[in-house]
Structure 1
Amino acid sequence: MNIFLTGATGYIGSSVAVHLKNKGHAVYGLVRNPEKAAAVQALGIMPVVGTLDDVALLAQYAAQSDAVIHTADADHEQAVAVMLQALEGTGKTFIHTSGSSVVGDDALGATESPFIYDETTPFTPMDIRRARVALNERVLHAGRERGIRTVVIVPSMVYGQSLGLDVSSDQLPVVFRKSQEAGIGIYMGEGLNRWSNVHIADLVTLYQLALEQAPTGSYFFAENGEASYKELAGYVSEALGFGGATRSWPAGDALAELGDWARFALGSNSRVRALQARQLLGWQPAAAPVREWILSQKKQA
């Protein structure tokens, strides 16, 4: 299958691209920075130099591919609209990547939410995530009404070494960095907020299964366990040689340094269950749980 994948230099995108290439697919990867094209090509991915704003390029590669996997930007409405238009009426596959912060709250680390969401649970997103949820709905609607096989994959906190380029994930590297700077495991606020998590090796398998099997209009959370940020800080502290000791990073200080990203990425609760992926696709996560993986970084830290 010929696959056009956006975000080919990213953590999720390059990992998915390499996994699908290893499964025998031909992957054309959108590369924003021309200087990274050679590195992408070295992975066996055919680089397509351009950005999400290059609408003619997106339409061309979407139209000539058997499937499109969008991992570059969960909020880029124009790019998604262009690629859906190019695929309309073809029955081809469009997989859109979102993120489980869509169900997040504004706890600022102060509380553990009792709410756990599966793919069918109603929720009201924070204002900062309303547009993302609306875009997810437009993708799903296209699967029902526009002759496209659409899928939305919603990863939780992703961890593990990249399977593609040497790039890091999003949330845990910040915990590692701030903990290293402070000489103690760091969590935001009280650290009581909990996030579900998934290993990158299990996540790429979910993309493969979705590509091969998912019915149109499918929506899949991706998770295989959960932990509070205080627990994660303890694991990181052990990995860094700080004996598991932890300390609060006041929420106001975190927001001042990292902006609203800290609000939804470090301070919120995002507790989800990947029931549909397991039941509809037979997805069986098998990689190391988050605590085991963090502690395995002791030698590298």
Structure 2
Amino acid sequence: MKAKRVFILGTTGYIGGSLAVYLLERGYQVNSLVRKQTDVALVQQLGVHATAGILLENPDLPALFETADIIINVSDSDDPFMVAAILDALEGSGKTFIHTSGGGILGDKAEGQYAGEVVYTDIPENPLLERAGRVAIDKAVLAAAQRGIRSMVICPTLVYGKGLGLKKESDQIPTLIREAKKRNKAVMVGKGVTLTSNVHVMDLIALYELALEKGTAGSFYYAENGQTSFYAIAERINQVLGLDGEITSLSIQEAIRTWGPAMAHFGMGSNILASAEKARKELGWQPVHNNLLEEIGL
């Protein structure tokens, strides 16, 4: 049987690189486009065929995707020009396109002050202004199922665990660990009581494979397997680093100065609660990792 051919945007990143290695190990052919010529050799060391270039500067996108059965975007959740170009190039092709969103679309800007109660099972209808653009992109991808594209969206919540590609670490937990080392105390935004759903990177990339094999056009799938508070994360970081147990509470203004507004509000200070029941029922996804706190320090 001929190997399925996958084109991945984002193979130099944490999720994209892990996904590329995972699919290669399962017999897929993986191609990629990277921004820098210097990254080509690094990505090819993973076994991925890579070329350098800027997607929107390519004069013939249909030709770029011609040898792929499946196109997966893990490079940017927020670039409408890139996604529009991909959808236009794939229109009427019947090919699979999986776009990666992010749990920030559920953010409530709670500033660490209260625990959320709403658990989302589908794409939010009224996201905050700062994430409305991302949701609009997600909806356009889902609507592309009516344009002759087998289009889907996967929306990870907080991702953790050691990656398989060039970038081994995720963003949020390593960022908090670095800040704790700098201050000699773990940190949290506000009271740290905000809750975040989370998913291990190995479970997440298994979900991509199930979606490309079994997913229904126009489907939106959350990826999560458990939830925790940022206070509990800070406690665990203190424990792992052998610090004195005190936790520094950052005001939202301090958090913005430290990490920028997007990370402060949506990466560290919001309630991000989702249910992956749809992925479990429709795709048979069975995540096996469910303890982010134990993973910290491994």
Same fold (TM over 0.5): yes
Unaligned 5+ runs, structure 1 = 297-301
The counterpart of 1:131, out of the listed 125, 130, 133, is 133
Question: Are 1:193 and 2:200 matched, yes or no?
Answer: no
Separation of aligned partners in 2, 1:106 and 1:249: 14
For 1:241 and 1:58, locate their aligned partners in 2 and report how far apart those are by CA, in whole Å.
52
User: Per the alignment, in what secondary structure is the counterpart of residue 154 of structure 1?
Assistant: strand
Unaligned runs of 5+ in 2: none
1:116 to 116, 119, 127: 119
Letter paired with 1:2 = R
**Pairing of 1:137-286 with structure 2 (within 5 A):** 137-143=139-145, 145-242=146-243, 244-261=245-262, 262-286=264-288
Number of residue pairs matched by the alignment? 294
Per-residue CA distance 1:20-75 (angstroms, 9 max, x = gap): 11111111112112112111101000112112332436443223311100000001
Q: Please point out which of 75, 80, 91 is paired with 1:88.
A: 91
In structure 1, the partner of 2:104 is 101
Specify whether residues 274 and 175 from structure 1 end up closer, same or farther in structure 2 by C-alpha distance, changes over 3 A only: same
CA contact (8 A) 1:4 1:61 kept: no
CA distance in 2, matches of 1:193, 1:179: 19
Q: CA RMSD in A?
A: 1.4
Q: CA deviation at 1:288?
A: 5.3
The 2-side partners of 1:44 and 1:160 are apart by 22
Q: Distance in 2 between matches of 1:228 and 1:14?
A: 28
Q: How much does 1:244 deviate?
A: 4.4
Give the Cα–Cα distance (whole angstroms) in 1 for the partners of residues 203 and 60 of structure 2: 31
Q: Residue 25 of structure 2 corresponds to which residue in structure 1?
A: 22
Cα shift readout 1:233-266 (whole Å, capped 9, x = no counterpart)? 1111111112544221222111123221211111
User: What secondary structure is seen at the aligned counterpart in 1 of 2:187?
Assistant: strand
- Following the alignment from structure 1 to structure 2, what is the Cα–Cα distance between the partners of residues 239 and 59? 49
Q: Shift in Å at residue 291 of structure 1?
A: 1.1
Offset at residue 14 of structure 1 (A): 0.4
List per-residue Cα deviations over 1:159-214 (Å, max 9, x = no partner).
Answer: 01111113421211111111111112111111111110000000000000001110
Q: How far apart, in 2, do the equivalents of 1:244 and 1:151 lie? A: 44
- Partner Cα distance (1:45, 1:96) in 2: 19
2:11 to 1, 8, 12: 8
CA distance in 2, matches of 1:64, 1:202: 28
Aligned amino acid, residue 253 of structure 1? E
Match of 1:299 in 2: none
Cα pair 2:225 2:290 within 8 Å, conserved: no
Q: Which range moves more in the overlay, 160-169 or 229-238?
A: 160-169
Does residue 1:37 correspond to 2:49, yes or no?
no
- Matches of 1:83 and 1:123 in 2, distance apart? 24
Relative to structure 1, the CA distance from residue 89 to residue 186 in structure 2 (aligned partners, 3 Å threshold; closer, same or farther) is same
Q: Which 4+ stretches in 1 moved above 6 angstroms?
A: none
**Structure 2 CA distance for aligned equivalents of residues 57 and 8 of structure 1:** 21
Distance between the aligned counterparts of 1:78 and 1:123, measured in 2? Answer: 22
Letter aligned with residue 270 of structure 1: I
